[in-house]
Amino acid sequence: MGLDKLGVGQNEAVMMYSSNHIFVPVLYLGVAGSGRLFTGCNPAYGVNETSFQIENTGSKLILVEPQFLDVVLKAAQKSNFPRERIYLFDDKPCKEQQGVRDWRGFISPETEAQSWRWHRMSSRESKTRTAVLNYSSGTTGLPKGVMVSHENVIANVEQSIFMRNLEQPFSPENAPPERWLGFLPLYHAYGQLWSITAAAVTQTPCFYMRAFNYTEWLSHIQNHRITHIQTAPPVLVMLAKRPETEKYDLSSLKNILCGAAPLSKELQNEVSEKCNLKVVQTWGMTEVTCSCLHVPGGMDDRSGSVGHIDPNSEMKLIDDGGREVGPGERGEIYVRGPNICLGYWRNERATQDTFDEEGFLKSGDVAIRDEKGWYWIVDRKKELIKVKGFQVAPAELEAVLLENEHIADAAVVGLQGEHEELPRAYVALKDPAKGQVSERDIQEWTSQHVAKHKRLDGGVK
């Protein structure tokens, strides 16, 4: 009702610029459930990145956590976005700051809300209407808004819950109680699927962290007796390597679901043995809502596999010649199913390039599978660089570098480390800058213009 009063129409976007807190799920479900589009902006973004998302989504309203207000106001000014359409968004009431008021001011009173009714979508509406715009680089190019439909969200939650219940020594009705720790960013797909929708569907208590800090994370597992977490490989590296791990009681933890980036079999097994628990893998991407392959939740697979295809989905592996390959052969994952996105927001060309003539999504990830339908990720065709589970598009960093007055040309690649990639830039300086501008100068300049995970930590050459 509050969005109605503010004049935010059906199928119009509401942007959130915030870290995790208990009202983020309220906003996500309320915006999408009322027929608007939820779009989350990474709070590590700077002015230019935020301005791009404001303009690309055509957002009609922005809710911002107070600590990030300055960035949003500068981005709004750059995008000619009206200040009166920005509201402070926190888990406790906020005093007005720089003319921006608290979001509770537009919420309708309970007496009015009691008479309000949710619109019940038809099956066709659920399939075709966008609920969420999550940003992804896809297989190539700049970040694009992925149109995730209502059916996509429902299907992927049901698929994921179904897979985690497979091969368990109990039925879902008799499952032991669980407690989850919601530290994955709720502005994006992985956190949204598990810490919002799956937690709600399974009625599982979820304890939210505003931002990840390793010792605080360990403390929360110990104090809240967390049983299950969903995470990415960098956190498993910390579990395996950092001495703080030994200082906390993690005995309540039974299962770790790992996705967002490749996980080596060696690291998977090291954490499983050290912490006496199961580490199971999943594979997905923003364009499949969140995930498409899972190791059945009750299995203790130590092979490094990302599991089996989710129910009601189809998958094929295609080689460089366009031929579908069989077991034991490498091929790019093509996938089709009820969780596959509608396409890219306001980018028909990219949408057409991403789907084949049969409606299969081209993932850009290369896998092999065995005769029993188990998959292993072995390579990546897409340009994307993964830093701590976050996407970095080389084209985006190259565009930033070319804004530097001293740089004539630039190319960015991923430098492979032991457990993760780091962005590295190769630059050609303009003649007057040669011998005057150092590699360090370019690194420091870039760090001022991009989010932390996009910094050139792989160096400049």
- The CATH number of residue 433's host domain is 3.30.300.30
367 and 402 together in one domain: no
Question: Residue 196: how many CA atoms within 13 Å on its side-chain side?
Answer: 26
Q: Say if residue 371 is in the same domain as residue 442.
A: no
Domain termination residue (choose one: 102, 120, 138): 120
CATH code, domain with 88: 3.40.50.980
Same domain for 231 and 300, yes or no, is yes
**Positions in the chain short of pLDDT 70:** 138-141, 382, 418-419
CA distance 430 to 437: 10
58 with 194, same domain: the answer is: no
Output the six-digit token pair for 395: 């084209």
Task: Tell whether 188 is covered by a domain.
Answer: yes
How far, in Å, CA of 296 to CA of 397, rounded? 38
Total domains, the chain: 3
Last residue of a domain, one of 338, 354, 380: 380
In three state form, how does the secondary structure of the chain look?
A: CHHHHCCCCCCCEEEEECCCCCCHHHHHHHHHHCCCEEEEECCCCCHHHHHHHHHHHCCCEEEECHHHHHHHHHHHHHCCCCHHHEEECCCCCCCCECCEEEHHHHCCCHHHHCCCCCCCCCHHHHHHCEEEEEEECCCCCCCEEEEEEHHHHHHHHHHHHHHHHCCCCCCHHHCCCCCEEECCCCCCHHHHHHHHHHHHHHCCCEEECCCCCHHHHHHHHHHHCCCEEEECHHHHHHHHHCHHHHHCCCCCCCEEEECCCCCCHHHHHHHHHHHCCEEEEEECCHHHCCCCEECCCCCCCCCCCCEEECCCCEEEEECCCCCECCCCCCEEEEEECCCCCCEECCCHHHHHHHECCCCCEEEEEEEEECCCCCEEEEEECCCCEEECCEEECHHHHHHHHCCCCCEEEEEEEEEECCCCEEEEEEEEECHHHCCCCCHHHHHHHHHCCCCHHHCCCCCEC
Check if the beta carbon of residue 308 is closer than 8 Å to that of residue 351. Answer: no
Same domain as 402, residue 364? no
Rounded to whole angstroms, the Cα distance separating 37 from 22 reads: 20
| 127 in a structural domain | no
Which residues, 6+ apart, have CB-to-CB distance to 192 below 8 Å?
28, 40, 132, 134, 186, 290
Could you tell me if 79 and 28 lie in one domain? yes
- pLDDT for residue 414: 86
pLDDT at position 140 is 63
Tokens 């906003």 map to which residue? 27
Q: What is the pLDDT, as a whole number, of residue 333?
A: 97
CA-based nearest residue to 274, from 227, 300, 236: 236
Would residue 342 count as lying in a domain? yes
Largest CA distance in the chain: 72
Residue 225, in any domain of the structure: yes
User: What tokens does 67 get?
Assistant: 């600590």
Residue range 22-55, pLDDT digits in tens: 999 999 999 999 999 999 999 999 999 999 999 9
Same domain, 325 and 399: no
Asked if residue 261 and residue 173 are part of one domain, the reply reads yes
Residue at 18: amino acid letter: S
Same domain flag for 174 and 50: no
Residues 393 and 360 in one domain: no
Average pLDDT score, the chain: 92
Structure tokens at 98: 């720089």
| Residue 166 maps to a domain | yes
Q: Is residue 48 part of a domain?
A: yes
311-333 pLDDT, tens digit per residue, is 999 999 999 999 999 999 999 99
Among candidate residues 59, 66, 98, 112, the one with its CA nearest the CA of residue 81: 59
| Residue at which a domain ends, from 120, 154, 175 | 120
Evaluate whether residue 449 is within a structural domain.
Answer: yes
Domain membership of residue 240 as a residue range: 146-380
Q: Are residues 392 and 350 in the same domain?
A: no
CATH number at residue 224: 3.40.50.12780
The reply to whether 215 and 317 lie within a common domain is yes
Say what the pLDDT of residue 173 is: 84
In a domain, 460, yes or no: no
